[in-house]
């Protein structure tokens, strides 16, 4: 498919753990020839105003979005919920975001405490300087660990210390999947299950059943096209989305230099999320 028909519905800016300012990311998306782009920062909507303004200037359609961390009580994986077309000024959404942000703020010092016990001290101040006021997450900690020479790469930092179940891992999310879906709906948006590969389901039957439960709680869509999805897994996602009447969406999870192997709109190179996904989201929004 030609780049004119592609979009990217999953990107991160300096408002969370991406390296590009919202306005710079939007310019990059326009320069890449994308037809639409969504900003989906972790647990914050603070980048949306400047992104939308930049979209008007650059002539690219910008979808306001967010990516909520969810506590789904799953054995190995992580669940993230994307919200699209949310009203960034929604009082109820902002109340939920403040609670999640408070949980994050409590978690970071606990991770640092564990690292210090293992002889790998980092200061919170250093992380705050790195994040420039945005939401601090594990990628900031991983980067700081590389800087201090504690690990050779951010991948090693996650594998040895930060990933779920590793020695310095501390859980963060306090929202149930239903609470996340409800918070997005209350802000006038659509709830979309992010990167299902990260759920680390044992098999397709388990994945299917999990999506079925989420659909019964009001889920609107599922991110089928994704940088880390194989063609086979994308097809599985499309079939399950269709089975439960969910909108199929997609995105790269672009983080700028924080994930240098992922290009905006293109993922690892071959990604093209069809613009039909945006049309389908709009149609669903109209029906609600």
For Fe ion, the binding residues (CB under 5 A) are 67, 80, 194, 253
Q: List the structure tokens of 65.
A: 């979005």
- Report the residue from 121, 133, 152, 155 that binds ligand AMP according to the rule CB under 6 A: 155
Residues binding Zn ion: number (CB under 5 A) = 2
Strand pairing class (6-8; 273-274) = antiparallel
Beta-bridge mates of residue 235: none
The yes or no reply on residue 267 touching ligand AMP (CB under 6 A) is no
* Count of residues of this chain found to bind ligand AMP when the rule CB under 6 A is applied: 10
Given a contact cutoff of 8 angstroms between Cβ atoms, the answer to whether 190 and 184 are in contact is yes
Point out which span in 2-10, 89-97, 132-140, 201-209 binds ligand AMP (CB under 6 A).
132-140
Q: Which does 80 bind (CB under 5 to 8 A by kind): ligand AMP, Fe ion, Zn ion, none?
A: Fe ion
In whole angstroms, give the CA distance from residue 141 to residue 128: 10
CA distance linking residue 222 with residue 48, whole number of Å: 22
- Sheet containing 273-274: order of strands: 247-251, 221-226, 190-193, 79-84, 61-70, 36-39, 6-8, 273-274
DSSP string, 230-251: -HHHHHHHHHHHHHTTPEEEEE
Interface mask toward ligand AMP for 226-265; x: CB under 6 A: ----------------------------------------
Query: In terms of CB distance, is 200 or 238 closer to ligand AMP?
Result: 200
Query: Binding to ligand AMP by residue 139, rule CB under 6 A?
Result: yes
Q: Which of 9, 11, 13, 17 binds Zn ion (CB under 5 A)?
A: 17
For ligand AMP, the closer of residues 155 and 206 by Cβ is 155
**Which positions touch Zn ion (CB under 5 A)?**
12, 17
């Amino acid at each position: 498919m030609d780049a004119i028909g592609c979009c990217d519905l999953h990107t991160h800016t300096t408002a969370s753990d991406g390296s590009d300012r919202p306005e710079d990311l939007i310019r990059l998306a326009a320069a890449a020839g994308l037809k639409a782009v969504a900003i989906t920062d972790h647990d914050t909507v603070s980048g949306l105003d400047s992104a939308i303004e930049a979209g008007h200037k650059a002539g690219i359609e910008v979808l306001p979005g967010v990516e909520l961390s969810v506590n789904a009580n799953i054995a190995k994986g992580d669940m993230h919920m994307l919200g699209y077309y949310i009203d960034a000024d929604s009082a109820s959404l902002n109340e939920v975001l403040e609670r999640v942000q408070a949980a994050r703020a409590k978690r970071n010092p606990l991770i640092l405490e564990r690292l210090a016990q293992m002889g790998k001290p980092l200061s919170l101040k250093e992380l705050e300087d790195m994040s420039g006021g945005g939401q601090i997450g594990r990628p900031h900690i991983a980067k700081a660990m590389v800087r201090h020479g504690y690990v050779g790469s951010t991948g090693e930092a996650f594998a040895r210390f930060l990933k779920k179940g590793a020695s310095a891992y501390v859980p963060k999310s306090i929202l149930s999947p239903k609470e996340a879906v409800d918070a997005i709906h209350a802000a006038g948006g659509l709830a979309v299950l992010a990167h299902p590969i990260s759920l680390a389901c044992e098999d397709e039957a388990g994945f299917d059943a999990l999506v079925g439960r989420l659909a019964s709680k009001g889920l609107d869509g599922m991110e089928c096209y994704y940088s880390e999805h194989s063609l086979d897994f994308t097809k599985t996602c499309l079939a399950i989305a269709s089975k439960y009447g969910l909108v199929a969406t997609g995105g790269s999870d672009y983080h700028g230099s924080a994930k240098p192997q992922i290009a905006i709109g293109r993922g690892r190179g071959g990604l093209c999320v069809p613009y039909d996904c945006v049309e389908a989201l709009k149609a669903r929004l109209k029906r609600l």
